[in-house]
């Protein structure tokens, strides 16, 4: 199965940008529907963006137009470019993978549908 390690989080001012990376090992991410989720204490984990193996992307309404998910299958890495950051984007961000055989890869699947998770990277916007 795939192992995931996120990086790129940090503290940034309102309006700033960050780029999160998720390096995969143990398997190729080309086999997976990949997603970014975020969570703040005492709240449920929420989907931010996802991407299928064909490159189709899905975004939550709260980040649409500001965040961009992408994948580099050759580097086995998933990215999340975050622009125009807001205080409400502050959260722990997680990379996740769901074994994919086609079909829907959108955020309506929910976190429970994803099989593999990274340890998270903290993003703080102030």
pLDDT tens, residue by residue, 26-57:
999 989 999 999 999 999 999 999 999 999 99
- The dihedral built from the CA positions of residue 25, 17, 124 and 96, taken in this order, carries a sign that is negative
User: How does the average pLDDT of the chain come out, rounded?
Assistant: 96
pLDDT at 91 over 90: yes
**What pLDDT digit, counting tens, does each position of 10-24 carry?**
999 999 999 999 999
Confidence of residue 95 (pLDDT cuts 50, 70, 90): very high
Q: Which residue has the tokens 């390690």?
A: 5
Exposure b/e, 6-27, CB count within 10 A at least 16 = b: bebbeebeeeeebebbbbbeee
């Amino acid at each position: 199965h795939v192992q995931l390690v996120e990086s790129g989080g940090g503290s940034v001012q309102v309006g700033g940008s960050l780029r999160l990376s998720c390096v995969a090992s143990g398997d190729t991410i080309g086999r997976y529907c990949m997603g970014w989720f975020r969570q703040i204490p005492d709240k449920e984990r929420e989907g931010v963006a996802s991407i299928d193996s064909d490159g189709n992307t899905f975004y939550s309404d709260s980040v649409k137009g500001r965040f961009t998910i992408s994948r580099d299958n050759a580097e086995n890495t998933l990215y999340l470019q975050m622009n125009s950051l807001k205080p409400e984007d502050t959260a722990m961000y997680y990379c996740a993978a769901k074994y994919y055989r086609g079909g829907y890869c959108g955020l309506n699947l929910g976190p429970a549908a994803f099989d593999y998770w990274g340890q998270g990277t903290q993003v703080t916007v102030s």
